[in-house]
Every structure is written in structure tokens, then in C-alpha cells.
Amino acid sequence: MLIQIRKRSDPRSSEITPKSAYLDYVSRRRFLGTAVAAGMIGSLPLPASAAAPKKAALQGVVKSRYKLDEPLTDTEAATGYNNFYEFGTGKTDPATYSKDFKPKPWTVAIAGEAAKTATVDFDDLIKPHQLEERVYRLRCVEAWSMIVPWVGVPLADVIKRFEPSSKAKYVAFETLNDPQRMPGQKSRVLDWPYVEGLRMDEAMHPLAILAVGMYGEEMPNQNGAPIRLVVPWKYGFKSIKSIVKIAFVEKEPPTSWNRSAPNEYGFYSNVNPTVDHPRWSQAKERRIGDSLFSAKRPTLMFNGYADEVAALYAGMEMKKNY
């Protein structure tokens, strides 16, 4: 490393630095980091590891009935334009800074209100299930979208194996917290680890999957290797990446974006073109890969799954429960 990165344990961090100076420091560091990666500083060649790590083709994947009548987003776009703050806040940061991330070996802790709790190796968690391809639209709250052929297993089938009790009203998810492996965690843009949650009936809905790959291959690091959630009727940020813990809980669990901006991001975060984000409209979206001059596309209620999921929210005021 050319530039010294301050360690978490270093006392000269945000505790004693005025916040503005600290943020300035963080953004300067991020700029320098980008410059180094882009080979802009000095005449340094890019490190040998600069190529994206090769991901294996997934075997035994069956097509599912979940398809969309729209062309798939190019792999390059879906793996080159990401939100994954553990690897930086810029859209190309995750692809750049996750190249050295080693997602295996990997374990997921299953905890909380269930008959069976355990720390399970990735293969043991996934192998008992049939891998399916599910073509879903990922609709970010920033009003862009992509059409992605995810590969995964129904979350409900995984949950059932651990026999949650009647006290399990919600499912809480947690991303890996390891600033050595996820350099974006050295800055405090979010409270680490990233956390998310679903109500139990949402988690048990057949549309919700644990995804382990996309485009027929293992999950790229920048998209949440080795295992992430995909909940297609909710905004993209509910689809938490690189999951290390799944806990069955009685009370509504905290979620990262709600914690950081409660007036902008609620627990439910269902895609809804009629409820605007406080700072911008949610009525339309820009498809990643479309020309900037082409028309935006209308956003669909529940991202197009109203028939399947609206019943989960019967009687709930969607403007209040955003």
C-alpha cells in the first residue's frame, strides 16, 4: 500500500477530530484510493490482482417460472455499477476494491428463536436445496434498475430447516464486519455491520431468495459473495450482501439505512411509485445500460409483484409504513 491507512484502533480518529475535518479526510482518502487504483499516481502499474477473480459456473441450476419480458442487463453493467458501501461509496468502488476479497471458506450463523441454531458452512447451508434461476428487476431507491438472472434458493426453504418458534416474528440479517477484508468499513459512512430485516411472513414469501450467483456463475464479490438476499418487491438496499448471520427475533430488528436516515428509509421499503422519497420522485426509473437520452421507465407497484405480495400489507397504511 502506498498510502498509510489509519487503523480503527488508532486513537486519532473521529472521536477527537471535528466531524467536518474527519469527513474531509475520508473523502480525500477515497479520492487518492481511486487515483491509485486507476494508475493515475506516479507510474505504478496496476497490481497483478487487478483482474476480476474468476467465478466458477454453477452446476445443476434449473430455470424457474420467474422471468421478465425485458432484456437482461449486461453482465458488465450489473457487476460494474454497484452499491456495496463495505467496498466504498462510489458505484465503481465495489468492483475495484473487492477484487482481493476471498468469500470462501464462509459460514453463516443461524441464531435466535428456533429449535435448531448453528453456525453452518456455506455448502451445508445451500447444498440441500435446488438452485434456481430467477430473473428479477433490482430497483434501487436511487431510481435506477437492472434486470438480473439471479441464482439462488428460496429463503423460506432454508428457514424451515431451522424450525423457528412462534416467537420468531422477524428475521434479522447481518453482513460480515471485517475492515481488513472490507476496506470501506474503515470509514464510518454507515454503522457496521450492515444489518437488514424482514417480517417473518415476508421472509417466507416464495419470491424471497438467498442468492449465491448470477448469470449462471457464483456471486461476484461486488454483488455480495458468497451469499446475499434478494427481495424483488422491495428497494435494492433491503437485499443485504455477504451475509454471515440470520437470526429469528421477536421484535422488529434495526436496519442500516433506517438507522442512518430514518425520515428517508423505513423498515418496509416496498417499491411504490406513489410514495416519493423525501428528496426525489419514485414514479420512474432509469434502466442501467439505457442511453442517458432515452426515456425513463415507469416504476411498478411492488416492482411488478403486486398480485403476489399486496396481501402481506392488507390494512397497512403504505405512506406511514414506508
Ligand X SMILES: Nc1nc2c(c(=O)[nH]1)N[C@H]1C(S)=C(S)[C@@H](COP(=O)(O)O)O[C@H]1N2
DSSP 212-223: EEETTEEPPGGG
* 309 makes contact with ligand X (CB under 6 A): no
* 303 makes contact with Mo ion (CB under 5 A): no
Residues 152-181 that bind ligand X (CB under 6 A): 175
* 96 makes contact with ligand X (CB under 6 A): no
| Span of 76-84, 164-172, 273-281, 289-297 interacting with ligand X by CB under 6 A | 76-84
Q: Which is nearer to Mo ion, 64 or 239 (CB)?
A: 239
Q: For Mo ion, which residue of 108, 140, 158, 227 counts as binding (CB under 5 A)?
A: 140
Q: For Mo ion, which residue of 33, 193, 236, 289 counts as binding (CB under 5 A)?
A: 236
Residues 68-87 that bind Mo ion (CB under 5 A): 83
Whether 110 contacts 162, CB under 8 Å: yes
Q: For ligand X, which residue of 136, 170, 194, 265 counts as binding (CB under 6 A)?
A: 194
DSSP 213-267: EETTEEPPGGGTSS-EEE-TTB-GGGS--SEEEEEEESSPPP-HHHHH-TTT--S
| Span of 63-71, 109-117, 217-225, 229-237 interacting with Mo ion by CB under 5 A | 229-237
Q: For ligand X, which residue of 58, 84, 187, 208 counts as binding (CB under 6 A)?
A: 84
Instruction: Give the span between the Cα atoms of 146 and 303, in whole angstroms.
Output: 12
Instruction: Give the span between the Cα atoms of 119 and 139, in whole angstroms.
Output: 32
Residues 226-245 that bind ligand X (CB under 6 A): 236-237, 239-242
The 10 Å CB-count burial string (b at 16+, else e) for 196-215 is bbbbbebbbbebbbbbbbbb
| Span of 9-17, 35-43, 233-241, 271-279 interacting with Mo ion by CB under 5 A | 233-241
Q: DSSP secondary-structure letter at 191?
A: -
List Cα–Cα distances, 169 to 156, 250, 309, in angstroms. 14, 5, 18
- Strands in 87-200 per DSSP E: 107-112, 118-121, 132-139, 144-154, 170-175, 195-199
| Span of 32-40, 191-199, 228-236, 300-308 interacting with Mo ion by CB under 5 A | 228-236
Binder of residue 82, out of Mo ion, ligand X, none (CB less than 5 to 8 A by kind): ligand X
| Span of 18-26, 81-89, 104-112, 272-280 interacting with ligand X by CB under 6 A | 81-89
Q: Which is nearer to ligand X, 113 or 220 (CB)?
A: 220
Instruction: Give the span between the Cα atoms of 237 and 148, in whole angstroms.
Output: 15
* 303 makes contact with ligand X (CB under 6 A): no
What is the smallest separation between the CB atom of 224 and Mo ion, expressed in angstroms? 12
Instruction: Give the span between the Cα atoms of 61 and 36, in whole angstroms.
Output: 39
CA atoms within 13 A on the CB side of 298: 4
Residue matched to cell numbers 429463503: 155
* 223 makes contact with Mo ion (CB under 5 A): no
Q: Which is nearer to Mo ion, 64 or 79 (CB)?
A: 79
* 137 makes contact with ligand X (CB under 6 A): no
What is the smallest separation between the CB atom of 277 and ligand X, expressed in angstroms? 12
Pairing of strands 144-154, 132-139: antiparallel
What is the smallest separation between the CB atom of 211 and ligand X, expressed in angstroms? 9
Q: Dmax over Cα atoms in the chain, in whole Å?
A: 62
As beta bridge partners, residue 213 has 151, 218
Question: Which residues in this chain contact Mo ion in the complex, by CB under 5 A?
Answer: 83, 140, 236-237
Question: Which residues in this chain contact ligand X in the complex, by CB under 6 A?
Answer: 82-86, 138, 140, 175, 194, 223, 236-237, 239-242
